[in-house]
Amino acid sequence: MFEGNVFGKLDQKLQHAIRDAGYATPTPIQEKAIPYLLDGRDLIGCAQTGTGKTAAFMLPILDRLVKVRRPRHIGHPRALVLSPTRELAAQTAENVRAYSKYAQLPFACVFGGVSQFGQVKDIKKGAETVIACPGRLIDLMTQGILFLDQVECFVLDEADRMLDMGFLPDIKRIISKLPKARQSLFFSATMSPQILKLAGELVTDPAQVTISPEAPTVEKINQKVMFVDKPNKDALLVNLLETHPEWSKVIVFTKMRHGADRVNKKLFRAGIKCAAIHSDKTQGQRTRALDGFRRGEVRVLVATDIASRGIDVPDVSCVVNMELPLETESYVHRIGRTARAGESGAAISFVTAEERGQLKAVERFIRKTIPVDRDHPFHSDFADQRNGRAGDGLPQAPWVKGERPGGGGQGKGGRHGRADGNGKKRTSFLGRRQPDFGQKRQG
C-alpha cells in the first residue's frame, strides 16, 4: 500500500486508516522521525504545527499499541500526549480518532473549561491513549481517576508554548509520576536554553530531528504592511474584505480578548460572516466557531494568539494582524496559519505610528523588510514617515530574561480549568485519590 516509504512499516490497520485520510507521501518530519520511533528511540523534534508532526509521533505510538497488546486497566493509559491548549489537544484527538478507526484503540482527550463527565466516561471505557492539557490532567490524577504508572510512550508537544503559559511546575509534577522505563518524545518550535534544559531532563540518548519550515513558509507568504491610524483600523479591515471577495477564509488576529469581540461585532454589523475565538469563550463556542470556519460557513475567524498555534485549518487565504504581537516570534506563528501544505497565502499587518518599533523588531526577527502597501483609502502618512526614534532603544525581548510576566491560564476556571462543581459523586474511583497532587492535608 505504501511501498518504498515509512508508512509501509506501520500495521496494516493504520495504513488503511491513513490511506482513507488521504495520506500518500510522508512529510519530511514523518520521514525522519517515524523510523527512530518505531525502533523505540527517544526523540527531540524541533518543528512547529503544520509540518505533519502529529502523525509523526502518533502513528508509531499507535503502531506499538496495536502490535504489543496488554490487558487494559481503567485509568492507567499506555500513552500520554501533553498539549498546551484545548484546541491543540482536541485536534490531536481528532487525528488519533482517524488513525485508529480500524485498530479499536480507545482514547480520551482531557482539558479544562468543560465538565469532566464525558472525559471520565472515555477513560472508563479503557482509554489506552490520553491526550491532555496539564491542568485537567492533574485534576484527574488528584481525584484518583488517572494514573501514569503504566505509560510506555510520553509526548511533550509544543514545549515552548507550555513554558510560555507557565506550565513548567505542572510538567515537572506530571513527569515525576511517569515510569523511568518509557519512550519519551519532545517537540518544540524553538530551542532556547530553558527548552534544552527541560528536554535533557526528559529524554535519554535521543534521536534529534529538526524541521525548520518558518523561513520557507514566510517566503511563500505575500506579506504587506499597511500604515493606518488606530481609529481607522476597523474600517480598513471591512474595506479589504469587501474589495477581496476571493478571500474565502480569513483569520484576523488581535492582542486582547475584548479587541477580538469588538472587531467581531464590527464585521457582523457590516454583514460579514464571522466568529471570535479566545479564552473567554466556552469550549462549545470555540468548537462551533472552528467547525464553521473549516466548513466555510464562517468567512472570518477573529482570534487572539491562543489560536496562532495548534489550529491547522486548510485553505486560509489571508491573515490580518490588527495589531502586531508583543512577542515577535508570535508573528511567524500567526502568519503561518496561511500558506499551509505548500500553498501560497497573504499576510497583512496594520501598523500605527506607535507600532513602528514593533514592526522593526518583527523585521529583524524574520530577517526581511516587509513591503509597504500605500494603495488603500486609510493610508497614514504620519505612521509611514515616523522613523528614527520609533525603532530606537527597543526593550529586550520579554522571553530573554526567563519567565514572562503574567504567564497565563486556560481561560475560565483558571489554569487548571476546574469546570465541575464540588461534591460530584465519583463512584468508580473512590479510595484512589493521590494526596501529593494538590489534596488538602489535615493539620
Same domain (yes/no): 200, 308: no
Task: Supply the pLDDT for residue 407.
Answer: 40
Q: Is the pLDDT of residue 140 over 90?
A: yes
Task: Supply the pLDDT for residue 166.
Answer: 87
Q: Is the pLDDT of residue 83 over 90?
A: yes
Same domain (yes/no): 188, 228: no
Q: Is the pLDDT of residue 57 over 90?
A: yes
Residue 422 domain-assigned?
no
Residue 238 domain-assigned?
yes
Q: And the C-alpha cell for 273?
A: 460572516
Residue 226 domain-assigned?
yes
Q: And the C-alpha cell for 416?
A: 487548571
Same domain (yes/no): 205, 224: no
Q: Is the pLDDT of residue 87 over 90?
A: no
Which region among 23-37, 147-161, 390-404 has the lowest average model confidence (pLDDT)?
390-404
Amino acid, single-letter form, for residue 437: F
Query: Which domain-ending residue is among 159, 182, 212?
Result: 212
With beta carbons less than 8 A apart as the criterion, state whether 142 and 428 touch. no
Greater confidence (112 vs 305) lies with 112
| Alpha carbon distance 185, 203 (integer Å) | 7
The whole-chain average pLDDT of the chain stands at 83
Residue 431 domain-assigned?
no
Same domain (yes/no): 173, 242: no
- pLDDT over 90 percentage in the chain: 55
Same domain (yes/no): 239, 368: yes
Interval 323-340 mean pLDDT: 79
Q: Is the pLDDT of residue 317 over 60?
A: yes
Please report, for the domain that includes residue 230, its CATH number: 3.40.50.300
Query: Which domain-ending residue is among 391, 417, 432?
Result: 391
Same domain (yes/no): 208, 219: no
Interval 396-408 mean pLDDT: 37
Same domain (yes/no): 32, 98: yes
- pLDDT over 70 percentage in the chain: 80
Q: Is the pLDDT of residue 318 over 60?
A: yes
Domain limits at 49? 6-212
Greater confidence (327 vs 22) lies with 22
The model carries a pTM of 0.62
With beta carbons less than 8 A apart as the criterion, state whether 75 and 123 touch. yes
Q: How many CB atoms lie within 10 A of CB 57?
A: 25
Q: Is the pLDDT of residue 403 over 60?
A: no
With beta carbons less than 8 A apart as the criterion, state whether 320 and 240 touch. yes
Same domain (yes/no): 176, 195: yes
Q: The dihedral of CA 87, 88, 90, 91: what is its sign?
A: positive
Task: Supply the pLDDT for residue 434.
Answer: 63
Residue 426 domain-assigned?
no
Which region among 52-66, 92-106, 213-227, 320-334 has the lowest average model confidence (pLDDT)?
213-227
- What are the tens digits of pLDDT across the range 268-290? 999 999 999 887 787 788 888 98
The count of structural domains within the chain is 2
Q: Is the pLDDT of residue 106 over 90?
A: yes
Residue 413 domain-assigned?
no
Task: Supply the pLDDT for residue 31.
Answer: 94
- What are the tens digits of pLDDT across the range 240-250? 999 999 999 99
Q: And the C-alpha cell for 123?
A: 477513560
Same domain (yes/no): 207, 356: no
Q: Is 91 helix (H, G, I), strand (E, B) or coil?
A: helix
- What are the tens digits of pLDDT across the range 10-55? 999 999 999 888 788 898 899 999 999 999 999 999 876 667 889 9
Task: Supply the pLDDT for residue 212.
Answer: 62
Q: Is the pLDDT of residue 405 over 50?
A: no
Query: Which domain-ending residue is among 212, 245, 264?
Result: 212
- What are the tens digits of pLDDT across the range 336-351? 888 765 567 899 999 9
Interval 323-344 mean pLDDT: 76
Greater confidence (99 vs 424) lies with 99
CA 208 to chain centre: 21
pLDDT band at 427 (very low <50, low <70, confident <90, very high): very low
- What are the tens digits of pLDDT across the range 350-362? 999 988 888 988 8
Which region among 19-28, 179-188, 302-311 has the lowest average model confidence (pLDDT)?
302-311
Q: Is the pLDDT of residue 418 over 80?
A: no
Same domain (yes/no): 284, 328: yes
Q: And the C-alpha cell for 64?
A: 506499538
Same domain (yes/no): 170, 238: no
Residues 6+ away with beta carbon under 8 Å from 194: 163, 402
Residue 61 domain-assigned?
yes
Q: Is the pLDDT of residue 394 over 70?
A: no
Greater confidence (428 vs 206) lies with 206
The DSSP-derived string for 214-274 is: HHHHHHHEEEEEEE--GGGHHHHHHHHHHH-TT--SEEEE-SSHHHHHHHHHHHHHTT--E
Residues 6+ away with beta carbon under 8 Å from 241: 247, 250, 267, 270, 272, 299, 300
Residue 76 domain-assigned?
yes
Greater confidence (328 vs 351) lies with 351
Same domain (yes/no): 154, 234: no
